[in-house]
Amino acid sequence: MVTEAIIFILRGALTVDTLPPDGDPIPGPRKRNDYCGVAGFSSSLDVSRFLYFSLRALQHRGQESAGIATYKDGKISVYKGMGLVHQVFNSSILDSLQGNVGIGHVRYSTTGGSREENAQPIHIYTTEHEIAVAHNGEIVNVKELKNFLGTMGSAFVTKSDSEVIARLLAYEITKHGVVKGLKNMILRLRGSFSLAVLIDERLFAIRDPLGIRPLALGKINGGFGVASESTAFHSLGGEFLRDVYPGEIAEITKDGIITHYVFERENKAHCMFEYVYFARADSIIDGRSVYEVRRKIGRILAREHPIKADFVVPVPDSGRAHALGYAEESGIPYAEGLMKNRYVERTFIMPSQESRVREINLKLSPVKSVIKNHKIILVDDSIVRGNTMRKIVRMLRDAGAKEVHVRIGSPPIIAPCYLGIDMKTRDQFIAAGRKIEDIAKIIGADSLGYISIEGLVKAIGLPRRDLCLGCLTGKYPIPIEGEKIRFQSDLEKF
């Protein structure tokens, strides 16, 4: 364990664009989606618009609900609702959320379901404090913690594991004070958690000791902030400073960032899927440019699975950097053979397979001058269930492709994720128990190539021991009932 007190005193600038007009929030489609993003700011200025625009920049991480909590005059005010950020908020709502410190959240449901009561931030009271919590991740010992808190008198309003975190924090700070309570909370939680926490007027950023989910610190006009990805600060005209250290409790003030505590672990477990798919390409996570990682993945993929073809075509937008790297390494021309409708949400995170397949026709259309009578290398970041890829391959064949060779920027996904990605059962995965040639037949491709685990690790540039590869290997960085833990060969060694 290491204790530090680090204060950065920096200044930045911010120019914001116009917001939706006063009146009802902009109407639009309401769809359930996957993943979460958090943000928090402390400034000499009102922070509601900082939060609004940072959540817009993090919208790719969750499109189900959005919420903001701010502190002023001795109380925390919260507004949240179902839908995209610009559908939930308008100028009048943001004007009502006054305060120089606040947190925000965009959500999808890995636990708790798609209901407004599960939207975040979670807001609760103790006898001495008001608390608001925004959480990205997933806690695997929720049942144990709920039972414990139940015996202590806690009652739960939602089914979200994030409420468990908030009530555990309330219990600990009531007994031990704020900083010691935060430390005790971290010791009790097992799983992934990147948190933005308001305790009255104090703002804290907390990342689990394995660093599974990303969390970044930055400076803005008049203050400092935290966000799930560095791109949130760029959208505000601010500056990314550094990642929150795994296991760090960082207090954010308008004058700087104070590190109260860092829990050190010998190994980390950064999620490989952040680099492959979830994070925005312009983000920097744990010192690595996501765009450059994806480009390197494409280069390695071209070396591992070469094929003669006329064009390298990405599945937009997730496969674009991978495809560019493949084209650069192979010398085969890169071409935008699929056009994307940018007003359709990410299909991986649709609530059902039926809706995912139906949305493909709305989301993508082929450029026939690129596709017709040509041999195509189709590059994407991953295949999870396989039905979406089968639909895209069929689309290219219908557009006249001679051959379609699929290349994938992650190794085969064969095991569930328990740490924040909605991949829960093995029967979801097309790669589980199948040979590569059999998967190629199912999706209708002439050939199929996945990057190797070794190739992926090389592209990310972090030691394998510091990555979570559980969905690729079936071995996890923390004990999970019925599963293997990494570095151990059998369950009996738990």
Report which of 237, 254, 225, 239 is spatially closest to residue 15, judged by C-alpha positions: 237
- Residue 332 CA neighbour count, 13 Å, CB half: 26
> Any residues with CB less than 8 A from the CB of 134 and at least 6 apart, and which?
38, 39, 40, 67, 69, 103, 104, 105, 120, 121, 122, 162, 195, 196, 197
pLDDT band at 421 (very low <50, low <70, confident <90, very high): confident
Degrees to nearest 5, angle at CA 187 with 184 and 193: 105
Residue bearing the bigger pLDDT, 4 or 425: 425
Please say whether the dihedral angle defined by the alpha carbons of residues 317, 323, 328 and 334, taken in this order, is positive or negative: negative
Question: Is 417 a known active-site residue?
Answer: no
Question: Which listed residue (36, 271, 417, 471) is catalytic?
Answer: 36
Cβ pair 119, 67 in contact under 8 A: yes
Residue bearing the bigger pLDDT, 120 or 421: 120
Which residue spans within 263-395 are E strands per DSSP? 270-271, 284-285, 288-289, 311-314, 338-340, 364-366, 375-380
Residue 4 is predicted with a pLDDT of 35
pLDDT band at 412 (very low <50, low <70, confident <90, very high): very high
For 349-376, the pLDDT digits (tens) are: 444 445 555 556 678 999 999 999 999 9
State the average pLDDT for the chain.
88
Please state the pTM of the whole predicted model.
0.88
385-to-216, 413, 423 alpha-carbon distances in Å: 31, 9, 9
Degrees to nearest 5, angle at CA 413 with 37 and 439: 135
**What domains appear along the chain, each with residue ranges and CATH number?**
37-265 (3.60.20.10), 290-471 (3.40.50.2020)
Residue 23: count of CB within 10 angstroms of its CB: 9
> Any residues with CB less than 8 A from the CB of 347 and at least 6 apart, and which?
356, 359, 360, 363, 388
Question: Residue range 33-50: average pLDDT?
Answer: 89
Phi, psi dihedrals of residue 365, rounded to the nearest 5°: -140, 140
Beta-bridge mates of residue 249: 206, 261
For 284-312, the pLDDT digits (tens) are: 999 999 999 999 999 999 999 999 999 99
For 157-177, the pLDDT digits (tens) are: 888 899 999 999 999 999 999
Residue 351 is encoded by which pair of tokens? 């609530």
Residue 486 is predicted with a pLDDT of 87
Residue 490 is predicted with a pLDDT of 39
Burial class (CB in 10 A: 0-12, 13-18, 19+), 267: middle
Given a cut of 60, whether residue 12 has pLDDT beyond it is no
Residue 271 is predicted with a pLDDT of 97
Which residue spans within 58-119 are E strands per DSSP? 65-72, 75-82, 101-107
User: Which amino acid appears at position 388 of this protein?
Assistant: T
Residue 420 is predicted with a pLDDT of 87
Residue 27 is predicted with a pLDDT of 36
For 220-239, the pLDDT digits (tens) are: 999 999 999 999 999 999 99
